[in-house]
Structure 1
Amino acid sequence: MDTRNFSAAERLERLPLSGYHRVIFIIIALAFFFDSMDLAMMTFLLGSIKSEFGLSSAQAGLLASSSFFGMVLGASLSGMLADRFGRKPVFQWSIVLWGVASYLCSTAQTVESLTLFRILLGIGMGMEFPIAQSMLSELIPAQRRGRYIALMDGFWPLGFVAAGVLSYFLLPLIGWRDIFLVLAVPAVFVLAIRFFIPESPRWLEQAGRHEAADKVLSAIEQRVRTSLGVATLPEPLRLPRTVTPAGNFFSALKQIWSPQYRQRTTMIWSLWFFALLGFYGLTSWLSALLQQSGFAVTQSVYYTVLISLGGIPGFLMAAWLVERWGRKPVCIVTLLGGGVMAFLYGQSAVFGGNVALLIGTGLLMQFFLFGMWAVLYTYTPELYPTSARATGSGFASAIGRVGSLLGPLVTGLVFPITGQGGVFALGALCFAIAAGVVWLFGMETRGKTLEELTELEISS
């Protein structure tokens, strides 16, 4: 059957899920995992760095926020670059940048140089996160898209746990600088991406490169047939088609604020900002706050790792529920659940710091919050068309990183005044606001192709 008269979406959506799709998922998810490790490591090293350089709480908060400042720049630029020049090259260079920056962190002898290198690291990570979700959303069929993107985000708590385990065993032996050196090694992973990850056929088609799109699609179809051991594939079905005229570098940014997408953009930016303000205001300080409560360094790292294990069943549950309940209800439930447990965790830390109570409430807090992350990364790219998907995801992530940037700073300022109870109550309030925004203005995207979602008018 000649499929050249069908669009990229029509050819991709009719493909059965195969081992080839899973290989693409694993490669992108592992890149996400290594980035997550690097970002999460500051949670476990901040106490040691604070002690070595004699930092105040406000100065430590500024250092913890430095990566997020870089992520604001990286996320906002990478989306426009990827919509203009393609997903694959931007994805590759983001990994190279964070690998080099992680190495530079290992050489830092002053807090000023470490802050600069963490900003560079943040630029690389900020570039990678929105491109990863855009790439995966454009390659996985609609019926499994939500689950796979949610599972990809699950590599975030795995990276968090891995960072904690690594720091728990290595920090007493080699110090924080050599841990950053170890984290630079996975940058060679970019070689696998160069050979195995295709450019998005949806993007190629939208960019007018129809021959290149057909070539990539034919290769994907052949690999799917080989993976499944079949001679033929299901026939494509006609889907809604949208034609986006070629524009300049800023066309996608204008598109996400057009009348059709303005409410989606306002909703998702607000969600990212308040969710990340609360999340990073708490998690960047978990280990350091435990140390402030009297726990030893290794003990605080151990408890932080233990608490973060709650995120693993959290993202697995979210990955299942987003295709059962839908994106919107799961997002609201995880935000509210995370807010309640964050408040209770803060109160348990205030009243005696009972270890069992701290761990129990902390596990449930991370269960909901990492579930929230899974929905966030699933939901965002589904709201925009191919011509603006990376830009929409990138700027949403960038606005979230502004919240990430402010979170540790606010925590560093609020903690001396209100103590841990006030810090976690503030985090709970942020999650409640984010849940309210989704409830009032969010739309459901479950089970619809990206092209169908492009045609939908806003509905609550």
Structure 2
Amino acid sequence: METSCEQAESISARIDRLPECRAVWAFPIVASFAGIFEVYDLYETAYLPLGLAHDGIFTGGHSGLLGITDQATFAAATFFGMFLGSLIFSSVSDRFGRRPIFLWALVGYSVASLAMAGQTTAIGVNLCRLLAGVGLGVELVTIDTYLVEIVPKTFRGKVFAIFHFVAYLGIPLLALLAYFLIPISPFGVSGWRWIAVIGGSGAMVVWWLRRKLPESPRWLAQQGRIAEAEALLTALERRVEAELRRPLSIPLPTAFVPPRDGAFTDIFRPPLMRFTIMLLVFNFFQTIGFFGFTNWLPTLLAAQGHSVTKSLLYSLAVAVSFPIWPLLWSFTVADRFERKWLIVFSSGVTAGLGLLFSILTSGPLLVACGVLIAGANTLLSFSYHPYQAELYPTHIRARAVGFVYSFSRLSTVLTSYLIAFFLTNTGPTGVFVFISISMLLVMLSIGLFGPRTRGRALEEIEQSRRNGQAVYAACRDSEKR
């Protein structure tokens, strides 16, 4: 009879031998539906300030067009909430499971978004954004963890690319609604309020669909709940075999790390400390390039002298490209190249194109350059989300990812004000110089210190990390002798 450790090892190997088919793809596709409204809610920081300024809730004051200081506070409230959610609450999914946390986090930020639609003061709006950000921070970390654990190693990158394709449909949806609704007030209700209601209501509908997603078998195995993991995986295997009309191949043996409780301080000890420091630097600076462009695009265009209507129209044109790029990446580069080098390459492209964007004045050229920056940003995003989750063991994966990811949210809080400062005092050129320097630091952190993960089982990654630490410890002991 197999021991519990042998059974858990078998579960991990059985997950990784699953082929690409509808039964396996069903889980990430259903999970990605909620991603549409997560992204929609996240990118409201780029579009809603235009409507809030139009209603007089946000004011420009001495900062100039579109109330840049108020937009900075609006974005800062959102990302500070995500910082709190990622740092403080993401660890609960290591204790209580992935499924209940990503379900209830979705409810939390949806309710906060609906509440924001009824606010009449800047304080009320920003408070609701703070609460929505907490739910969003927990949700994004937990779903990354969940997908890494349930998807086979052979097409993990492709799954994250398709997830981003579906989720990024929320960006053109939001941009389209903003273009048509913000300048008007349908039925006497401001357009920005309709946008908030649509986002919150849509996410609640998707919550109902997500209820059918199972718990992560890998997490169950790590908790010693072998029977539940076996039942879930056996049911999935039967569906796969029925679809393929043939038996599944024999799973290849894989390394297994015995179930154990994880302390938060594990991520600050070898062998994980190296990756933690690397990812803290990476996360702090990558959001400057990603959100510094995406969340400020309408305002950056307006600062270059384009009207509000044209700024929204150009932003819509760029937004339409966001879901197209991950779909392209899914069948061209996903799982064909190491994720660390995709991160390095995309960061370099963003740095170069950002400087070009700052000096362009022609509308068509701005849109073309913006579309290419969107392509680089989506390549960066779908590459790093699985990458950082792959580097940590299952028993502390959520809290570890939550901690390092929280620094990207903290960075965005600070850079919201820095971008507002640079835009006011140096114009768009100063903003993009700031962005380019940040992306160069991203390239160095991952390029110099990042390990390879493509096509490797999560247990194999952890075992090689432990082996490397054992060799290091042996060498150190030898030197002492």
The residue that corresponds to 2:227 in the other structure is 211
Give a deviation string over 1:40-80, Cα, whole Å, max 9, x none. Answer: 12212222223422244223211122110110111123431
How far is 1:281 from its partner? 2.3
How far is 1:221 from its partner? 1.7
Give a deviation string over 1:239-258, Cα, whole Å, max 9, x none. Answer: 101114235xxx1x222222
Give a deviation string over 1:86-126, Cα, whole Å, max 9, x none. Answer: 00000100110111011011011000000000011111111
Letter of the 2:211 partner, please give it.
R
The residue that corresponds to 2:278 in the other structure is 267
How far is 1:169 from its partner? 2.1
How far is 1:362 from its partner? 1.4
Mapped to 2, the partners of 1:268 and 1:235 lie a distance apart of 36
Task: Summarize the alignment of residues 1-16 of structure 1 with structure 2, pairs less than 5 Å apart.
Answer: 6-7=7-8, 8-16=11-19
2:73 and 2:416 in contact (8 A); partners too? yes
- Which stretch of the first structure deviates more once superposed, 293-302 or 386-395? 293-302
The residue that corresponds to 1:70 in the other structure is 81
Matched, 1:423 2:431: yes
The residue that corresponds to 2:476 in the other structure is none
Task: Summarize the alignment of residues 426-437 of structure 1 with structure 2, pairs less than 5 Å apart.
Answer: 426-437=434-445
Task: Summarize the alignment of residues 341-420 of structure 1 with structure 2, pairs less than 5 Å apart.
Answer: 341-348=353-360, 353-420=361-428
- Summarize the Cα distance change of 1:270–1:316 in structure 2 as closer, same or farther, 3 Å threshold: farther
Number of equivalent positions? 449
The residue that corresponds to 2:301 in the other structure is 290
1:327 and 1:446 in contact (8 A); partners too? yes
Mapped to 1, the partners of 2:88 and 2:127 lie a distance apart of 19
Match 2:206 to one of 183, 189, 195: 189
How far is 1:357 from its partner? 2.3
Letter of the 2:249 partner, please give it.
P
Q: Normalization by structure 1: what TM-score?
A: 0.93
Aligned to 1:321, what secondary structure does the other structure show? coil
Mapped to 2, the partners of 1:6 and 1:14 lie a distance apart of 15
Give a deviation string over 1:243-291, Cα, whole Å, max 9, x none. Answer: 14235xxx1x222222011111111221111010232223222112222
The residue that corresponds to 2:454 in the other structure is 446
Letter of the 2:462 partner, please give it.
T
Letter of the 1:339 partner, please give it.
A
Aligned to 2:243, what secondary structure does the other structure show? helix
2:171 and 2:322 in contact (8 A); partners too? no
Mapped to 1, the partners of 2:329 and 2:281 lie a distance apart of 21
Give a deviation string over 1:302-340, Cα, whole Å, max 9, x none. Answer: 101212334344323443324112111111000000111
How far is 1:3 from its partner? 12
Letter of the 2:418 partner, please give it.
V
Mapped to 2, the partners of 1:267 and 1:41 lie a distance apart of 30
1:277 and 1:406 in contact (8 A); partners too? no
How far is 1:360 from its partner? 2.0
Match 1:35 to one of 13, 34, 38: 38
- Summarize the Cα distance change of 1:227–1:79 in structure 2 as closer, same or farther, 3 Å threshold: farther
Unaligned runs of 5+ in 2: 61-66, 470-481
The residue that corresponds to 1:233 in the other structure is 248
2:285 and 2:411 in contact (8 A); partners too? yes
Letter of the 1:18 partner, please give it.
C
How far is 1:150 from its partner? 2.5
Give a deviation string over 1:3-35, Cα, whole Å, max 9, x none. Answer: 995432022112222212211111111111210
1:345 and 1:361 in contact (8 A); partners too? yes
The residue that corresponds to 1:177 in the other structure is 193
Task: Summarize the alignment of residues 50-61 of structure 1 with structure 2, pairs less than 5 Å apart.
Answer: 50-51=53-54, 52-53=56-57, 54-55=59-60, 56-61=67-72
Give a deviation string over 1:366-392, Cα, whole Å, max 9, x none. Answer: 111121111111211111111111122
Letter of the 2:92 partner, please give it.
L
2:346 and 2:377 in contact (8 A); partners too? yes
Mapped to 2, the partners of 1:229 and 1:59 lie a distance apart of 59
The residue that corresponds to 1:199 in the other structure is 215
2:7 and 2:226 in contact (8 A); partners too? no
Letter of the 1:241 partner, please give it.
F
The residue that corresponds to 2:261 in the other structure is 246
The residue that corresponds to 1:325 in the other structure is 337
Mapped to 2, the partners of 1:429 and 1:48 lie a distance apart of 32
Match 2:268 to one of 257, 271, 280: 257
Mapped to 2, the partners of 1:331 and 1:292 lie a distance apart of 30
Mapped to 1, the partners of 2:166 and 2:150 lie a distance apart of 19
1:19 and 1:228 in contact (8 A); partners too? no
- Summarize the Cα distance change of 1:32–1:400 in structure 2 as closer, same or farther, 3 Å threshold: same
How far is 1:39 from its partner? 1.1
The residue that corresponds to 1:132 in the other structure is 143
Mapped to 2, the partners of 1:312 and 1:107 lie a distance apart of 30
Task: Summarize the alignment of residues 13-24 of structure 1 with structure 2, pairs less than 5 Å apart.
Answer: 13-24=16-27
The residue that corresponds to 2:63 in the other structure is none
Mapped to 1, the partners of 2:147 and 2:221 lie a distance apart of 17
Mapped to 1, the partners of 2:451 and 2:206 lie a distance apart of 36
Mapped to 1, the partners of 2:347 and 2:454 lie a distance apart of 19
Mapped to 1, the partners of 2:224 and 2:231 lie a distance apart of 13
- Which stretch of the first structure deviates more once superposed, 315-324 or 404-413? 315-324
Aligned to 1:242, what secondary structure does the other structure show? coil
